[in-house]
Amino acid sequence: MSAPSPVSRRLPAQFHLWWAVSTLSAAGDSMLAFALIWTATGHGPAAVAIVSTLAVVPRVLLMLFGGALGDRHGPRRLLLITTATQTAALFVLAGLSTVSSGIVFLALAAGTTAVVSAFHQPAAVVLPRLLISHDDQFARALARISGSTHAARILGVGLGGFAITAFPLGALFGVDAAVVGLSLVVLWTIHPRHEPTSPATVTNGTSIWTALARSIRAVHELRVGPFLAAVALVCAAVLPAIAVVMPSMARSNGWTSVQAGLLEAGWATGTLAITLLISCTGTIPKQTIPLVGGPALVCAALATLTLPVTATTAIALSAAMGIGTAAFTTHIAPTLLRMAPPGQLTRFQSLMAIVQLAPPALLNTPFAALAGIELTATALLLSAGMAGAAALAAARGLRRMTPSLSPAAPAAGGTGADRS
């Protein structure tokens, strides 16, 4: 009897448990994040700047350390520690919120959740690989989690807007703590087939700094720099454009707030549609199409937005941006994680997360300034240029890859768990 095709293989029950709690946690975290920002708006723009900065900067600074610890102690063990820490911290913050909801408290809450997230996130992305039965399920597993958590974040923001008007801030901390506590229970019940250990790369006698240096050397040796550059450029092109440039464009064109909201909704819809499609069908064998074509589509859509277009056309172009973004991200993530050396999975994921977070954090302010002086076309052209550069970087990365590291090639050992 022939082996089942990759698409027909069912993902294990343990994966589905983790998928469910990851989705719930994403909704709870997004709900709380919106509530913190909304509360900060009542204290003025300086409070918003402080809270939004503290929600990102600790992740950029500490995520590599989180990746190194995840490789040293195993993703599941680190997740148990960070999830328990997050649950306790949320309950403490819920109690503190009954005393004060001023700027100091909001900054403390944003910084605390960001620090925990820096150690939690890389291991959370790697864990699904250790729960699946076959390596060719990995891309579908990542896409499934990515799609559902993306939808949960959108829903969480909406729920946060409703909840913060109906309930005190402490109640939202309590709800998020309960959801995170549920994920802790699930973590206790699931067990990866193999924890990723490799004495050659992760030993108790190796310092964190040495582990980080090894991961950076591995990036150079594997020649994945162009792929990481492409990830950074796509995020730099898309996220500031969606967050700050396109709303300003809508206002300058006299569009309604509903139409402005539909611009981001269009991008989210395009992203979600492709992500869920890949979660069912798997990735495309010919990687040039998504890795080069995805950023190229984003580039074309951004460039077209600089022309006089109607609101309906702009929403359609925004959806096209989402399609291009998701085509790229759903293929680059499993590609890079498959190429990670044994024992360095979590560090590789932390590098990917940093190159996603850092460029938007750096560019949001200058792009907002350009939009503020009615130079939205200039900002969109700069974004289009970065997306075009991402396509070129991805093409270069594909040319430099050796056949043994081809993203279409199966991982050594047959399964993700074996290779780990």
User: Same structural domain for residues 315 and 379?
Assistant: yes
| Span 262-312, pLDDT tens digits | 777 788 888 888 887 887 777 787 888 899 999 999 999 999 999 988 889
Do 71 and 343 meet the contact criterion of CB atoms below 8 Å apart? yes
Pick the last residue of a domain from 197, 225, 247.
197
Q: pTM of the predicted model, to two decimals?
A: 0.65
Pick the last residue of a domain from 176, 197, 218.
197
Q: How far is it, in rounded angstroms, from Cα 321 to Cα 243?
A: 13
Q: Let me know if residue 413 belongs to a domain.
A: no
User: Same structural domain for residues 242 and 176?
Assistant: no
The CATH number of whichever domain residue 261 belongs to comes to 1.20.1250.20
Whole-number pLDDT of residue 407: 46
> Does residue 263 or residue 323 have the better pLDDT?
323
For the ranges 9-13, 126-130, 179-183, 237-241, the maximum mean pLDDT occurs at 179-183
Pick the last residue of a domain from 147, 171, 197.
197
Do 145 and 121 meet the contact criterion of CB atoms below 8 Å apart? no
User: Same structural domain for residues 237 and 192?
Assistant: no
210 band by pLDDT with thresholds 50, 70 and 90: low
User: Same structural domain for residues 271 and 162?
Assistant: no
Structural domain boundaries enclosing 41: 1-197
Q: Is the pLDDT of residue 259 over 80?
A: no
- Number of structural domains in the chain: 2
Q: Which helix (H) or strand (E) holds 327?
A: helix 311-339
385-404: average pLDDT: 82
Q: How far is it, in rounded angstroms, from Cα 256 to Cα 278?
A: 34
Q: Let me know if residue 419 belongs to a domain.
A: no
Whole-number pLDDT of residue 393: 92
User: Same structural domain for residues 168 and 272?
Assistant: no
Q: Which of 11-20, 297-306, 344-353 has the lowest mean pLDDT?
A: 344-353
Do 382 and 255 meet the contact criterion of CB atoms below 8 Å apart? no
9 band by pLDDT with thresholds 50, 70 and 90: low
